[in-house]
Amino acid sequence: MEGNVKEHIAIYPGTFDPITNGHLDIVRRAAKLFSTTIIAVSANPGKHPLFSLKEREDLVREAVKGLETVQIDSFDDLLVNYVTRKKASAVIRGIRVISDFEYEFQMALMNRKLNPQIETVYLMPSEEFIYVNSSIVKEVARYGGDISSLVPPCVEISLKGKLTQITS
């Protein structure tokens, strides 16, 4: 029977500018549910990310070291096209608050319209990460606040360095 086990691949897409401990909480949860979880870093130039695509990929890669079933990739097209290319069966989305759900629900319905084979799985982060998002982390860091409990150490170092470059 072992040869007949179907691999279940999930895609966790995002800008990850930068990846936070909340994102990592979702990744760990997804890794328990799927045989492979691909963190797909979106180029998404419309969001004007602070970190380059390569920097974001490198930070994600460093942050998930040791999670054997987690892979890192990037994409720059429609999510459904990327998911189809990767032969994934699900898209992972984190839901923190009700307003997240409203937006994510619309996106899931559009993705289903474009490709009915793709399921969206919503995961809630641990309570300690409900309020954490990349924008808040960057804002706190910009004003010298302590972000050590909000992001992995590699992100804290890189974010402080990036912000120092910008203000110099």
Tell me which residues are annotated as active site. Answer: 23, 47, 96, 134
| Full strand arrangement of the beta sheet holding 119-123 | 70-75, 36-42, 9-14, 90-94, 119-123
Tell me how far apart the alpha carbons of residues 162 and 157 are, in angstroms, rounded to a whole number: 9
Nearest in space to 90 (alpha carbons), one of 17, 40, 23: 40
Neighbours of 56 (CB within 10 A): 28
- Bond preceding residue 18 cis, omega within 30 of 0: yes
Cβ neighbours of residue 122 under 8 Å, at least 6 residues apart?
93, 94, 95, 101, 104
**Could you tell me if 133 and 20 are in contact, meaning their C-beta atoms sit under 8 angstroms apart?**
yes
In order of 56, 101, 159, the CA distances from 143 in angstroms are: 21, 30, 12
